[in-house]
Amino acid sequence: RFGSLCSLCAAHALGRLRPPPHRAMAHKKMKGRLLGKGCSVKKSLKQARRECQVKEKGKKLKKAQPGEEAETPKAESKGTAAAASEGPKLTKKEQKAKAMMEKQHRALYSDKERILLVGEGNFSFARALCRHLGSGAGVYATCFDDEATLAKKYTDAEECRKEVEDKYGGTTLMGVDATRLHSVKEFKGAFHKIIWNFPHIGSGETDLDKSAEEHRLLLAKFFKSAAKCLNKESRGSAIHVALKTGEPYKSWKVVQMARGAAPLDLGNALPFATGAWEGYAHRRTIGFKTALSKDDSEELAKGANIYVFVRRPEEADDA
């Protein structure tokens, strides 16, 4: 059901990549049904808005009729518990801002694009992306680990990959080095978006200066390779990198690394909205351990940004 990829057998494993539309892309050894486009998330969003409106009306009614206060908390007890578990209650202004951030993050991707995800851990973002798009026909999710290592580090990876491939018709690949993407012949010029969420070497280096240097080199190699895999016929082609805010990540100088390694410029930077992606659970490079790791995406609570790098105007004009 799943496939693996290494630097020596990549071309044979992937088959041929043809120019857009992405449905023409096929694999010889990789298997994944290309399903028709599913329904968009508009209906679910409308339903969510209707539910919020009902709750707001209920709150107003509660204030207008104090005699019913004893019954109302019971009806809303589950919702209140869920809200409490998610953190402090947000004001209307904060809720509006949060919803806007989530909308902006989701708007970065379209089901009409061919999207390459690199450095996936448990493949939960790939699954969330497919759920959002309603299809995985244009989604190619990859990780660096081989199948045995992946299963050991992330016990939920198989379930996520199964949904990506079997339900949404997407593709998952293992053994893909994010710094050598261009070495896969079929990858060159093939993708509209290339995404690396929270890159990390995972070496355990304790010297912060040395670690920062290693990660700057990692990012530079990635940008140099990934830029060669962008679809030059599309002006909207971009490379997305998500990083946590603050140190040590600030010292990695992601913008400088992108500009110095490839003909790229920073087109935009926006908050990484974890709430925009149903079922997404951030994982560390070293794997998930209950005693040491924080569940779901708790580690991103302090803030994270997604940096959108686009080809320089002169490069886009030459395409």
- Per-residue pLDDT at 89: 85
Partners of 300 in the β-ladder = none
Q: Where are the alpha helices (DSSP H) in the chain?
A: 10-14, 42-64, 72-86, 92-106, 124-133, 147-153, 157-162, 208-226, 254-261, 313-318
Pairing of strands 304-311, 238-244: antiparallel
In this model, does residue 42 exceed pLDDT 70? Answer: no
Higher pLDDT among residues 225 and 64, named by residue? 225
The predicted-structure confidence for 127-151, as pLDDT tens digits, reads as follows 999 999 999 999 999 999 999 999 9
Higher pLDDT among residues 306 and 317, named by residue? 306
In this model, does residue 39 exceed pLDDT 90? Answer: no
With a CB cutoff of 8 Å and minimum separation 6, the contacts of 1 are 31, 162, 165, 166
Give yes or no for a contact between 184 and 14, defined as CB atoms under 8 angstroms apart.
yes
What pTM value is reported for the model?
A: 0.71
Rounded Cα distance, 304 and 275, in Å: 12
Pair of tokens at residue 137: 């026909």
In this model, does residue 83 exceed pLDDT 60? Answer: no
Rounded Cα distance, 9 and 45, in Å: 43
> Mean of the pLDDT values across residues 66-87?
41
Q: 205: helix, coil or strand?
A: coil
> Mean of the pLDDT values across residues 19-27?
39
Nearest alpha-carbon partner for 267 in 299, 228, 235? 235
